Structure 1
Amino acid sequence: MREIPSLEFSLSGKVALVTGAGRGIGLGIAVSLARAGADLVVADFDSNVAEEAAMQIRALGHRAVALRVDVGQADSVSAMIDQVAEHFGGLDIAVNNAGVVSLGKVSELSVTEWDRIMNVNARGVFLCCQAELKLMRARQSGRIINIASIAGKVGFPDLAHYSASKFAVIGFTNAFAKEVAREGITVNALCPGIVGTGMWRGEEGLSGRWRLPGETEAQSWERHQSSLLPQGEAQTVEDMGQLAVYLACAPHVTGQAIAVDGGFSL
């Protein structure tokens, strides 16, 4: 019987790339990976927030490089990967988190808005995975984590386009994992539930847009947590970071779409 190595949650000496890392879930995951020992490439469409995130990582005692990237553009993604190779010589962990969201009924949704959501959320994951694979194949090792959503498991009204993009991420992840399963590379999807970041909070967030008559945004936020989540409370960016660290360490978990959603999608 072959010996099964114990799983150690240490990423010391590893290089991780996180897209959409300037704020919210992406930033939470980047910080969690750094706390586990990884050096970081923090990429974001906004170069200013990317640099602010990199400063947080450096304050933890790890190397960090900030890059601007538009994940929907192949040239931008290719340039990002070239920079990863130049700064760190390779890539061990990739978290493809960059994403966008909007509300709109199918009957009213424009083709332009459909394409915008799909371009970032689905095409962006494809382009990043394709580029990251080149560096990981060179080492015959790697961990790719694509950020999907519970909306990629369960549809929500007014979010058909967003749900479609996240269902696509889950399907792509499962198929891609099987393509590279014999190359030492794992590919998984992390599906956040209700997290109190910009997607949900504020007047333009979902809890602001889905208010009942006479309800404040804060009251709507509390109602959605209580009504949608069996645990009755929202998840945190730290919750997402914990699963990302696990998936970055686990050699035999691949092709999965794992939800961190307080039991919503059971």
Structure 2
Amino acid sequence: MKKIFFTLVAMSAILVACEGKPSAATKTTEAEDSTVLVLFDGETFNGWRGYNKDHVPGKWTIEDGAIKINGGGAGEAQSAEGGDIIFDRKFKNFELELEWKVAKGSNSGIFYLAQEIEGKPIYISAPEYQILDNENHPDAKLGVNGNRQSASLYDMVAAVPQNSKPFGEWNTTKILVYKGTVVHYQNGEPVVEYHLWTPQWKELLDKSKFSAEKWPDAYELLINCGGENHEGYIGLQDHGDDVWFRNIKVKILD
């Protein structure tokens, strides 16, 4: 993971040097930092709605300070009261942090830079941070070299090391998106790094289920992920399984 380490060091230097950004000596606390947005207050769905909907579908509830998707099988995800949810604001350069846990055998995901397209699923326009019970879900053995396991860039880049916790235990996630560089963290470790809008990104798409040959609609959207302004929605996936999310916040980096 040397490449990730050196990239993060360089990016940290850039961020500290940026005009208007506080130095290490003057940095405010998180509570005082206006660039940190709490996306879930632990009690309400304020700011959230269903993808291509004006309300939060009924399969989503709040339980013990966490957002929960109550799974009823993959078919339920397509029902009127199922489906993915998004936070109703687009983000460009940011750090997303949250915690999640899954029931036994559960599958979900976190989408970012997503576009909202009528009649199309969210995952054809957005990279996906995979959420999975690696030990008990068949997807863990699909894909290539583990690229459908927890914290992976779904079907493209495997998370290394694979350090997810067993079902029923809370995991921490951070997703850094900064001027095309994306880093996935899981339980405090950087596990994936890739670079949007580059030859590397095109190569990843070409080798995935979203290639121009296999899924042209998805390829057209993902090759220029985030659209003209390189920004999009953050979304949580309903894959028909029980999954919990809490302590969701975003730090704006631009």
More strand by share: 2
- What TM-score does the superposition give when structure 1 sets the normalisation length? 0.26
| Bigger relative contact order (CA 8 A; separation at least 6) | 2
More helix by share: 1
